[in-house]
Structure 1
Amino acid sequence: MQIGNLFNDAIPPGQGERFDTLLSHRNLVVERILSSADISPAEQCQAQDEWVLLVCGEADLEVAGAPVALKAGDHLFLPAGTPHTVRRVAEGSLWLAVHLHPEAAPVRASTVPSVPAEVAGALHGAA
């Protein structure tokens, strides 16, 4: 069991952003990002999907060439390969980022256990 608090030690750096990994499990990474107002905008284009939540603060981004303004509580999904840049961010902005990395290798059909038809039917009917 891992217990933490998103707001503990939530002090932004003097410049740029601080990235803290909260969870790394299989192909999932959850990060807390703390932003100072003094950033150097740089385009990012990641190999993984990313979902971000701006917990507090404000930010102006450019996503695939389009301007996007975020305020506290706004969230955004960035599919893998989507170019994006944080253009401006308010001092002390706090983000929660969830990265879903591609699987290392596809699951082969032969490695997936078979489920008896009556069990599969019961499971499907329960949904």
Structure 2
Amino acid sequence: MREYYTITELTREFDISTRTVRFYEDEGLISPVRRGRTRLFRQSDRALLKMILRGKRLGFSIAEIREIIQMYKTPPGEAGQLRAIIRRVGERREELEQKRRDIDDLLVELDNAEEACLTRMAELGIPRVI
């Protein structure tokens, strides 16, 4: 296991920009060691970056990710963190399922509107050209 990673190594590994890494640093989510103008990221920073990116993929906000990270560092610790993640995943799942229902409803409305237009076009003798 390596002691330090450069910003370039992390951007390549996670396929993100240096700007993204700097953003998470500015947000206080990761804190690399500085040697002159060089940022050196510890294994813990790499693990946090991986967790942050996973949280973003799941749709969590920066504030939610920060809260989860802070839970790990302070009581209730990992157990609280895991409970919070499970709760947030459930909330996110509910949001996505509602969006799916909304999309399904909208598709039905679009189908109905299209069918009404095609019916009226047929009544008027307008050829169907798409």
TM-score normalised by L of structure 1: 0.20
Q: Could you say which structure has the larger radius of gyration?
A: 2
Instruction: Answer 1 or 2: higher relative contact order, Cα 8 Å, separation at least 6.
Output: 1
TM-score normalised by L of structure 2: 0.19
